[in-house]
A and B are shown apart, each in its own frame.
Chain A
């Protein structure tokens, strides 16, 4: 099982803060976005359009990063920390 986390504006779009997904074999971020698209098309489109940063186990990931059972995948909108 992998854990999916949605932050800030993406939480509003996904309409959830956290989700879990059973995977039989390791998958890529691209494959994960296909799975998400089936249940949340808007979220899938955002992931494919690269309008979001993705981390796996708190490290930045790319489209071909492999996700394994037990991993935590987070969807991160552009950051806005701090002041000017």
Chain B
């Protein structure tokens, strides 16, 4: 589990800086003309219930492998220059950062498309699970809310 900003695919306990991660990706090429980011954060309400705590777990190695496949496929299919995907695990409070995708390209159109596809694909194929704690107990979330 890497925590440096060198790797473009990371799963980590620690929070990340959106600004720092964008700056890292801006240095990838002088031909970048558009950057799209997706930031997923911990929300308070889920299915009408107030969440007090979130906890994420992953299948080490397989999760990183799937995220790298998404990165490679995004570059190939949408023609973006590069992409980084960072996902946090462990306990996460309401309002905190969970997942960040940064897509960089020559123009904005391909980065918007790549970013939207990548987060949907991440939720579909990457073995990461969310446990929500509410006033009525704890539950593993088993759909893509």
Q: Complex Cα distance A82/B61, Å?
A: 18
* A8 & B119 in contact (Cβ 8 Å cutoff): no
For the complex, is A9 an interface residue (Cβ under 8 Å from B)? yes
Most A CB atoms within 10 A — which of B43, B130, B140? Answer: B140
Most A CB atoms within 10 A — which of B57, B123, B143? Answer: B123
- How would you classify the secondary structure of chain A's contact residues: helix, strand, loop or mixed? loop
CB distance from A45 to the nearest CB of B (A): 16
* A80 & B144 in contact (Cβ 8 Å cutoff): yes
CB interface residues, A 63-84, toward B, < 8 Å: 74, 76-84
For the complex, is A37 an interface residue (Cβ under 8 Å from B)? no
Q: CB-nearest residue of chain B relative to A81?
A: B128
- Since A79-B127, A80-B129 are in contact, a sample of 10 more A-B pairs with Cβ atoms closer than 8 Å, ordered by chain A residue number, is A8-B57, A9-B129, A9-B142, A58-B59, A76-B59, A77-B140, A77-B142, A80-B140, A81-B56, A82-B98
